[in-house]
Structure 1
Amino acid sequence: MSVRPNVQLQILEAFNFRHATKVFDPDRKISDADFETILEAGRLSPTSFGHEPFKILVIQSPDKRELLREFSWGANGMMNGSSGQLGTASHFGIILASTAATMTAGSDYLQDHYRKVKQLPEDVIELFNGAYGKFQSTDHRITTEREITDWSGKQAYIVLANMMTTAALMGIDSCPIEGFDMELTTQTLAEHFGVDISKWKPAVMFAFGYRASDPQFPKTRRPMAETVNWF
């Protein structure tokens, strides 16, 4: 694959363009083709061991979005006196993280994933089981329900980061959202969205669309010298 001219400039322009959009223009909608590209960037994202411990829920029904409003303070507009991302975003959703029920080393789910998705031969599956088992039990010591779900959540953030970068490259705005009650969101997903919460837990919400107005403040970050150490 050849690198397009000025790709470095395009990337930096996209990252400077992107900001956590709190209010979108409700009259501007992302085209189906553009959002499919955003979703494909998420689907193709890397995950630890290639286990893909995430699922993307896209919530377009206004009634379904309203089910989340009361306890999603990061998306309901209470911080800025608007209807928030829930009320204005072209596309809104939640990325779910896999639980220990599927992501524990040796699980039936993973054996099926190795064979049907990764299409690995049996001897390689045996190697994967051993390596991932050591990773969980010894290297990173992620063996409890909370630890494994949190690990899956880390993979979900990689997915969302790639989705947001893809959107920015196309001039589409976005916002990652952690401001929600985890327990109430989990209950709502089970009761109203048919989510099996023994296998999936909410990791992060997201919103995509087109900004209603430009940011009021310039982008601020630590200088490179305070961000990166070379050895």
Structure 2
Amino acid sequence: MIVLSHTGATMKAGSEYLAKHNREVKQLPEDVVEMIHGAYSKFQDSDFHLETDAHITQWAARQAYIVLGNMMTAGALMGIDSCPIEGFELDKTEAVLRTEFGIDTRVYKPAVMVAFGYRADGPMFPKTRREMSDIVTWA
């Protein structure tokens, strides 16, 4: 599965996409749409310094990992194994998305891939973990 994220073309504060989404999908009143625009502008410009479309596209891709984590957790709860994949050829993946699926890669970018399935056998090696005290500090 390829998880797509929006790009700076759609996720920039005040974009036509965000305004339409807030008005038509969320059915928010105009004053709330304007309030959200202001909050997004502050978040992008002042809080996270997302100054270019590339910065916004990278931020949007990181949001896709929230979805990825939930999908992998849900799969695990159903007994389905998964593996996140970042090591793919972006240009070739985008070409396939455009030609085979009609995806506008100016609007959507592949953020991450994930494979789901059932393992044929048990793990080849025992699972190992660091000690909790080595990675967590309780304050």
TM-score by length of 2: 0.92
* Residue 113 (1) aligns with residue 113 (2): no
In 1, distance between residues paired with 2:31 and 2:64?
A: 29
Local SS of the residue matching 1:220: coil
* Residue 141 (1) aligns with residue 56 (2): no
Counterpart for residue 227 of structure 1: 135
In 1, distance between residues paired with 2:20 and 2:128?
A: 45
In 1, distance between residues paired with 2:57 and 2:127?
A: 32
Counterpart for residue 33 of structure 2: 125
Displacement of 1:186 in angstroms is 1.2
User: 1:218 is aligned with what amino acid?
Assistant: P
Mapping 1:1-231, distance limit 5 Å: 93-231=1-139
Displacement of 1:102 in angstroms is 0.4
In 1, distance between residues paired with 2:85 and 2:36?
A: 34
Displacement of 1:213 in angstroms is 1.5
User: 1:188 is aligned with what amino acid?
Assistant: V
Moved more, 157-166 or 178-187: 178-187
In 2, distance between residues paired with 1:183 and 1:221?
A: 35
Maintained 8 Å contact 2:12/2:53: no
Local SS of the residue matching 2:13: coil
In 2, distance between residues paired with 1:128 and 1:136?
A: 12
Displacement of 1:223 in angstroms is 2.2
User: 1:195 is aligned with what amino acid?
Assistant: I
In 1, distance between residues paired with 2:83 and 2:22?
A: 33
Local SS of the residue matching 2:116: strand
User: 2:4 is aligned with what amino acid?
Assistant: L
| Structure 1 unmatched ranges of 5 or more | 1-92
Maintained 8 Å contact 2:94/2:105: yes
Distance change >3 Å, CA 228–CA 117, structure 1 → 2? farther
Maintained 8 Å contact 1:104/1:143: no
Residue-by-residue CA offset, 1:17-40 (whole Å, 9 max, x unaligned):
xxxxxxxxxxxxxxxxxxxxxxxx
User: 1:143 is aligned with what amino acid?
Assistant: E
Local SS of the residue matching 2:72: helix
Aligned length: 139
User: 2:9 is aligned with what amino acid?
Assistant: A
In 2, distance between residues paired with 1:230 and 1:191?
A: 51
TM-score by length of 1: 0.57
Structure with greater helix percent: 2
